[in-house]
Structure 1
Amino acid sequence: MSIYILLALLNGVCIGASRAINGRLAQQDGAFAASWWNHLVGFLLLSALLPMLSSSAGSGLADAPVGAYLGGVLGALFVAVNSHVLTRLGMMKTTLLVIAGQMLTGILLDRLAGIERPALAQLLGAALILAGLWLARRPAAQPATARAAAR
């Protein structure tokens, strides 16, 4: 179990780094260019790694349901929108809003699928993230020496 926790944490680090890189690229070339490069490099990397890691690389692509390709479309849209928003809101606010949106969508999808989970705990978690976002928007308190120097 601990290896999966470490992998999830590593995934979070990779997502944060990817967002920062895509945000910089979006500032230079635009959000859609950032999404294009993100997915092109990812495609090339996975195309090289998949045959080495799996004996069934590429099998079943023609048999995949149309909905299976929706993930790629949503992923490209996510990177483009995230890159666009990141340059305007900053890393922390964008990340908190994305996580809150993921939590609320997960709660909704669980409910629609009929999966009974303690919704109160899930909603409380989303509320804590939104509270963190609200606290982050407030200006930082200045030390007394800085306030005195400002007068």
Structure 2
Amino acid sequence: MARRLVEHAPLGEWPRNEEVGTLTLAYDDRHRRRVRLTSDQGAELLLDLPRAVALEEDDGLRCELGGWYRVVAAAEPVLEVAGRDSAHLARLAWHLGNRHTPTEIRADALRVRQDHVLEAMLNGLGGSTRRLVVSFSPERGAYHHHDHG
């Protein structure tokens, strides 16, 4: 029988000394309310929260029987794009936003899921792209309510 994960807490608001395991999840799998999962240690789990939560790296999920599981953002294929300067990078970000593309905003680059059409567009706009396999945590958007509590 699967153990139930019944409470979510953001980084810093759950007791790290009570961590019993980790859950490595891709971006698309980190916005859930109820789903069967397998921990990185092989435990069968049932995420069973009162409402859907956008899980972030190092958030905690409390097990009904005690202990906490830490969320780990999985490495995924992404495209990182840099601009000539901050104004150029902002223009590239505008074009991605205009296409409603989930985008991770970093100090000197943007990250999106690997996509050959977006890669061609960004290169055509003068961006410098490179393919990586890293954790992906795009902005959630102004209309996406993210309640960690």
What TM-score do the two structures reach when normalised by structure 2? 0.20
Relative to its length, the structure with more helix (as a share) is: 1
What TM-score do the two structures reach when normalised by structure 1? 0.19
Relative to its length, the structure with more strand (as a share) is: 2
For the pair shown, the structure with the greater C-alpha radius of gyration is 1
